[in-house]
Structure 1
């Protein structure tokens, strides 16, 4: 059994379609079929059932997938550890973050990190599906809302933040010391679309406060939201710390009584080797916020 065959097998497990899996592997469909047959002959068990045009894993296929994933991950860990030993401060770090407000605030951290690790390639990937990206090994580390305990993941809480109402300095509410939940009713707002984690958190909080808000305009960009606030189109409800990035626009952040809060965590797979640069990135995130 060869590592190459396991990679072929795992791709077919993912796609459950011989032609599509072969295309993504860059090989012909007959070659893929032949290699799967070699595996099945060696194990003495069928790994897939071919039901017409449908391909499904057998019980033996499910078992091999479980162990093949571990084998491939451990091999990748070995390669990364040796690379870390021989080529310090090089490599590739992939991180997934909440879109818009969280990735926007990472610029200063990335600049500082690059000074210490100039040869490490960093990819910051905004996503609303961070957990699955980490579990599917599409990224090395996830930074997002706190998740439920999971034995497959190491979790590190790093920040808890409240929300404020952001308005222009000449807004009718600008002189208030604190905003009551009732003040938000019928207030023209510009917000993230529903389905964004920040918007859904606020909607859940509104239900707990027995109020409803209505967005006059929605956009998925933090920069766009604050430009709309500056233009006087509406106010917005965002993490309080964002005022540090947008105060120059002439915008004020007013605390909200019993405001929504969100707990942020970093998480990565327990079976994944973390390079020195990845560990340094985690440490910087803890102190940055």
Structure 2
């Protein structure tokens, strides 16, 4: 079974038409039919069946497709990585992170440390927790930093930090001048408009706090960009909640950050990467740099 046949069965499942597969591969239709017959001869079973003008996979074909899809995906990723290497002589290391992780760790000193890794090209992909966890087994990313641990058995999983959620409000807001933050009523917060960062793990931590306080915050707007959250708070329009690891003086211009009332609501951040990384030492080095930045964020 060569790579052409691997690609062929993936495309048959996708298009369900021999002509469409032939067009995609840039070959003639009889060539596709020939390889389909050869595949069935090689495996000694029927892989394809014709129904209502479509080519469908048999049960054996679906089993083979499961593995073929993974091989095709990995080979495509290898092609892209090798093209990058040929183009600029640098190996490509792809990191995936949520907007929360990006704000918390991948800034300032981290970029200075990462720039010392001179023999690679760094690529950063942002997305939500679930999407990044889907990319990891596909080989599209080498390392992810998200708000939830991975459940994949073939991956390393490391808790980076555990931070309390902080209330953001305009610096001139009456609550910002309170000398005793514990006296702030959670019920009073429920009467004010909030803008929240789109982060499922952040939402889960906040839901737990709301349940403990028996309130529901009035969320008027959500966004996946922290700059919009901070801009709306600074303008005096909304309040918000973010993990303490995301707070630094550069971002909080005209914004006050105080602890949420009641019991601490904790937000956890995790790093995950495959056991079979193409460069285990490089992956470990990247994780170490993020750990160091995470330590600074909690001080």
Superposition TM-score, scaled by structure 2 size: 0.76
Counterpart-to-counterpart distance in 1, 2:107 and 2:143: 17
> What does 1:138-149 correspond to in 2, within 5 Å?
138-147=140-149, 149=151
Provide the secondary structure at the position in 1 that maps to 2:245: helix
- Which of structures 1 and 2 has the bigger CA Rg? 2
CA RMSD of superposed structures (Å): 3.7
Deviations 1:166-203 (A, max 9, x none): 1122211112434553342112212235x754335423
Query: Which residue of 204, 210, 213 maps to 1:209?
Result: 213
Structure 1 residue 127 displacement after superposition: 1.4
Counterpart-to-counterpart distance in 2, 1:47 and 1:28: 21
Provide the secondary structure at the position in 1 that maps to 2:207: helix
> What does 1:148-187 correspond to in 2, within 5 Å?
149-174=151-176, 175=178, 176-178=180-182, 179-187=184-192
Change (3 A) 1:133 1:20: farther
Indicate if the aligned counterparts of 1:188 and 1:214 stay in contact, CA closer than 8 A: yes
- What runs of 5+ residues in structure 2 fail to find an aligned partner? 83-88, 295-299
Provide the secondary structure at the position in 2 that maps to 1:132: helix
Superposition TM-score, scaled by structure 1 size: 0.79
Change (3 A) 1:28 1:222: farther
Counterpart-to-counterpart distance in 2, 1:149 and 1:140: 16
Query: Is 2:239 the counterpart of 1:235?
Result: yes
Change (3 A) 1:74 1:215: closer
Provide the secondary structure at the position in 2 that maps to 1:284: helix
Change (3 A) 1:236 1:75: closer
Change (3 A) 1:134 1:229: same
Provide the secondary structure at the position in 2 that maps to 1:249: coil
* Structure-1 residue corresponding to 2:121: 121
> What does 1:47-86 correspond to in 2, within 5 Å?
47-52=47-52, 56-65=56-65, 67-68=67-68
- What runs of 5+ residues in structure 1 fail to find an aligned partner? 83-88
Q: Give the aligned length.
A: 281
